Amino acid sequence: PLPITAIEIVRHVAAPQVFRRLVTVVAEYTGGDAVQAGLADVVADPDAIQGAALKAVRELAAIPAAVYQ
């Protein structure tokens, strides 16, 4: 069985048709298909993954903490 918390997170971010495929037939989405389905924001080349992750962290770190309060 799938953890209920994970199911609810996916229900919130995925389109209904994507959600149904994920939880009923355990469909797998990789690469560009995951981005197109709204399950990922970007696909990074394995050689560039660290740079892409650091870029995302810097963007998040630039958001003022007060925004989250």
Q: Tokens for 24, please give them.
A: 């009923």
Distance, CA of 26 to CA of 50 (rounded, Å): 29
- The structure's pTM equals 0.61
User: What count of Cα atoms within 13 Å lies in the side-chain half-sphere of residue 2?
Assistant: 14
Alpha-carbon separation of residue 41 from 17, 33, 66 (angstroms): 18, 11, 24
Q: Is the pLDDT of residue 61 over 90?
A: yes
Tokens of 18: 């994507």
Q: What is the pLDDT of residue 34?
A: 92
pLDDT at 18: 92
pLDDT at 26 exceeding the cut of 90: no
For residue 24, what pLDDT is reported? 85
pLDDT at 41: 87
Region of 3 (left: φ > 0; alpha: ψ -120 to 50; beta: rest) is beta
